[in-house]
Amino acid sequence: MPELPEIETIKNVIGPQIKGLTIEQITLSRPEIIAHPTADEFCAAVTGQTISFLSRRGKFLILHLKNDSRIILHLRMTGCLLAAPPDHPMEKHTHMILRLDNGTELRFSDTRRFGRFWLIQNGEEDTYSGIGKLDLEPFDQKFDAEYLQDKLGRRKKAIKECLLDQSVIVGIGNIYSDEILFRAKIRPARPANSLTEEEWRRLAAEIPKCLSYFIEKNRISPEEYLRGKGQDYRNTPFLLVYGHTGEPCRNCGAALVRTVIGGRSSVYCPACQK
């Protein structure tokens, strides 16, 4: 579910709450969420370790431990992370609880159970999580129109599908690909190899602009995050096209249209987006 701005929010909210705390005990009710190593090895290796900080890479969260190992997690569609006091009501579908040494519980819940955890030991190569296949962050100095065009300019597939390719540019999912293309005034179904120089420039400019705009719009206090169960902050009124099929375009008033591209639902303005 969450894309780069949401993962960034989780990092910003949860990170400071768990930094410096030691994992005293793990309750794992769904061992299949541990992708590597085995669930038993994961629990044994992580128990007693101290958390140094939380970081983000693409849509992955990385929990860095003081012994230089790291827990990597991907929330996929419905994964959710909460730092809660022990008496806080338990979310349905909570599959793992890390009890920390100040009593805080780091809880992972996931209705659809697509989310996964990996533990990468100090010195071990991460060939498991998929982080190795990622390329540029949208805020990387090297990310620009030339980079995008060089990577995607010869592809025949829809530009919308290309934007979802994490091996080119990370962090964009179905919602923000639609928002970005709307802002760049490009139709999602346009073959990537049909984009003009000017369109590549607009697209490359809108990607970091749009994502950082939503990171700002998602800013939330830990209390508010907990109250909204780590979900509600995303119900943003700031999305211009996603979820607005049939409504008037905010620029021109034309009715927004829904199509399916690469198996994903896509909303765009038939007048503004060429």
Give me the residues that bind DNA (CB under 7 A), please: 1-3, 6, 32, 58-59, 74, 76-77, 92-93, 111-114, 130, 133, 155-157, 161, 164, 166, 173-175, 234, 262-265
Residue 160 annotated to the active site: no
Give me 24's structure tokens: 């005293």
Radius of gyration of the chain (CA): 20
Residue with tokens 């959710």: 80
Residue 154 annotated to the active site: no
**What is 156-189 written as a DSSP string?**
-SBHHHHHT-TTTB-S--HHHHHHHHHHTT--TT
Task: Decide whether 20 or 31 has the Cβ nearer to DNA.
Answer: 31
Q: Is 56 annotated as a binding residue?
A: no
Are 110 and 33 contacting, i.e. CB atoms less than 8 angstroms apart? yes
Task: Decide whether 174 or 273 has the Cβ nearer to DNA.
Answer: 174
203 CB burial (10 A radius; 0-12, 13-18, 19+): buried
Peptide bond into 37 cis (omega under 30): yes
Residue 250 annotated to the active site: no
Pick the catalytic residue from 113, 201, 264, 270: 264
Task: Decide whether 92 or 142 has the Cβ nearer to DNA.
Answer: 92
**Least Cβ distance, residue 92 to DNA (angstroms):** 6
Q: Is 113 annotated as a binding residue?
A: no
**Least Cβ distance, residue 168 to DNA (angstroms):** 12
Residue 258 annotated to the active site: no
**Least Cβ distance, residue 5 to DNA (angstroms):** 9
Strand 264-268, strand 94-100: pairing: unpaired
**Least Cβ distance, residue 175 to DNA (angstroms):** 4
Pick the catalytic residue from 2, 5, 138, 188: 2
The residue length of the chain stands at 274
Task: Decide whether 99 or 234 has the Cβ nearer to DNA.
Answer: 234
Give me 27's structure tokens: 């309750």
Distance CA 240, CA 251 (A): 10
Are 117 and 72 contacting, i.e. CB atoms less than 8 angstroms apart? yes
Task: Decide whether 1 or 98 has the Cβ nearer to DNA.
Answer: 1
Exposure string for 172-188, b = 16+ CB within 10 A, e = fewer: bbbbbbbbbbbbbbbbb
**Least Cβ distance, residue 207 to DNA (angstroms):** 14
How many CA atoms lie less than 13 Å away from 133 in the CB half-sphere? 8
Q: Is 30 annotated as a binding residue?
A: no
Q: Which residues are catalytic?
A: 2-3, 59, 264
Q: Mark the binding-site residues for DNA, compressed into ranges.
A: 93, 112, 155
Q: Mark the binding-site residues, compressed into ranges.
A: 93, 112, 155
